[in-house]
Amino acid sequence: MNKHYYVAIMAGGIGSRFWPMSRTNYPKQFLDILYTGKTLIQSTYDRFKGFIPEENIFVVTSEEYVPIVKKQLPAIKEENILGEPSRKNTAPCIAYISFKLMQQDPNASLIIAPSDHLILDTEEFKRVCNEALNFVNHLNAFITLGIKPTYPNTGYGYIQFETLPVSKDVYKVKTFTEKPNLELAKTFISSGEFLWNAGIFVWQVKNIITAFEKYLPEMYEVFAAEKDKFNTPDEERALKEIYPQCTNISIDFGIMEKAPNVYVIPSSFGWSDLGTWNSAYENFEKDYFHNAVAGDNVMIIDATKCMVHAPNEKLVLVQGVEDLIIVDTKDVLLICKKEKEQQIKDYVAEVKRNKGDKYL
């Protein structure tokens, strides 16, 4: 394994579209959503430790989740669990790990990966990641992994790429598009020029820091001013100075959509971002009537195409409905049309307005 290869697993989100299973104090990355025997973050960690030195695997999370990460990933070094003092989207998170690694290893190459994705073909994923690492080690380039789309999904961002490769499997990125409507998604798929944006990035740390200086100069300045405190006892105090000054912005908006040296590797490794109940439904085994059931005591009568998630100790009987998401927890029951799954985030906001934080 290359001692200069690192990975940062981003694990600070609250997964509100997986409510009511995912809660603010225990979000989806720490749950075994698909009943595999491992939580999502455990599966992500295991995926990387096969080809990245374990001492080079970092988790960047909200400081309130640090104890959960320690419990779920007992093998990781305590100093590799980085707690952010506030949620400011992915750009500050990536600036933090980048400046920290730059102080530690100026030759570091870094994979940025979400903690809550499903990847079925781990060998192919490893191959693609190593190809990306090799590419960025020879060029000042940023690689993003794009997923070959199988249908016009409106919940994913899309990447348009040039038709001629610059290397064996590497293509220049033309445009990024946020979640499109159905008609636009269909156009993207039929053109053959678009990929799903997996939100997995690869680059040399020194190059992404230069990009912060160019495209997010204010954020660069606040991190650069405190960089000497990283990897010292003053790091936590420095973060509390830095984060209030950071803009809440994603790395996609802040840098990827502006930089001219962004490339993509079209990939097929059984990927799902597991961002919604529909994505869970797609990855569960189905019964004869296309129902996906999680729970030992769920009974289905004359119902079709439903996603039902319930505690093992509770009997749940579903009759005469179709295309519903039904999620039962100890204090919340959600019944929602599958086509409205993207609005669950809005429903959670409505719950907060009417009921406060009790059910969040």
49-75 residue pLDDT tens: 989 999 999 999 999 999 999 999 999
> Are residue 132 and residue 190 in the same domain, yes or no?
yes
**Of 252, 272, 292, which residue constitutes the final position of a domain?**
272
Question: Residue 330: which residues within 8 A CB-CB, separation 6 or more?
Answer: 311
Q: Give the CA angle between residues 287, 289, 292 to the nearest 5°.
A: 45
Closest Cα partner for 328 from 313, 346, 343, 344?
Answer: 313
Average pLDDT, the chain: 93
Q: How many other CB atoms sit within 10 Å of the CB of residue 266?
A: 18
Q: Is residue 350 part of a domain?
A: yes
* Ranges 60-64, 153-157, 184-188, most confident: 60-64
| In the predicted structure, residue 84 carries a pLDDT above the cut 90 | yes
Question: Residue 263: which residues within 8 A CB-CB, separation 6 or more?
Answer: 135, 141, 142, 143, 144, 166, 170, 171, 172, 173
> Are residue 241 and residue 300 in the same domain, yes or no?
no
Q: Is residue 119 part of a domain?
A: yes
Q: What average pLDDT does the segment 77-91 reach?
A: 94
> Are residue 160 and residue 255 in the same domain, yes or no?
yes
Q: Band the pLDDT of 26: cuts 50, 70, 90.
A: very high
Domain that holds residue 184: 5-272
Q: Is residue 237 part of a domain?
A: yes
Angstrom distance (rounded) from CA 300 to CA 116: 29
> Are residue 260 and residue 172 in the same domain, yes or no?
yes
Domain count across the chain = 2
Query: Given this model, what pLDDT does residue 91 score?
Result: 96
> Are residue 282 and residue 268 in the same domain, yes or no?
no
> Are residue 52 and residue 158 in the same domain, yes or no?
yes
Q: Is residue 194 part of a domain?
A: yes
**Of 215, 249, 272, which residue constitutes the final position of a domain?**
272
Amino acid at position 265, single letter? I
Q: Band the pLDDT of 145: cuts 50, 70, 90.
A: very high
Query: Given this model, what pLDDT does residue 155 score?
Result: 81
> Are residue 148 and residue 291 in the same domain, yes or no?
no
Q: What average pLDDT does the segment 197-224 reach?
A: 96
Query: Given this model, what pLDDT does residue 180 score?
Result: 84
Q: Is residue 107 part of a domain?
A: yes
> Are residue 281 and residue 176 in the same domain, yes or no?
no
Closest Cα partner for 63 from 9, 2, 12?
Answer: 12
Q: What average pLDDT does the segment 221-246 reach?
A: 95
> Are residue 253 and residue 108 in the same domain, yes or no?
yes
Q: Is residue 138 part of a domain?
A: yes
Closest Cα partner for 115 from 10, 25, 15, 271?
Answer: 10
> Are residue 142 and residue 288 in the same domain, yes or no?
no
> Are residue 147 and residue 291 in the same domain, yes or no?
no
Q: Is residue 360 part of a domain?
A: no
Q: What average pLDDT does the segment 125-143 reach?
A: 94
Question: Residue 245: which residues within 8 A CB-CB, separation 6 or more?
Answer: 218, 222
Query: Given this model, what pLDDT does residue 272 score?
Result: 87
> Are residue 131 and residue 168 in the same domain, yes or no?
yes
Q: Band the pLDDT of 118: cuts 50, 70, 90.
A: very high
| In the predicted structure, residue 341 carries a pLDDT above the cut 90 | no
- 133 burial via Cβ count (<10 Å: 0-12, 13-18, 19+): buried
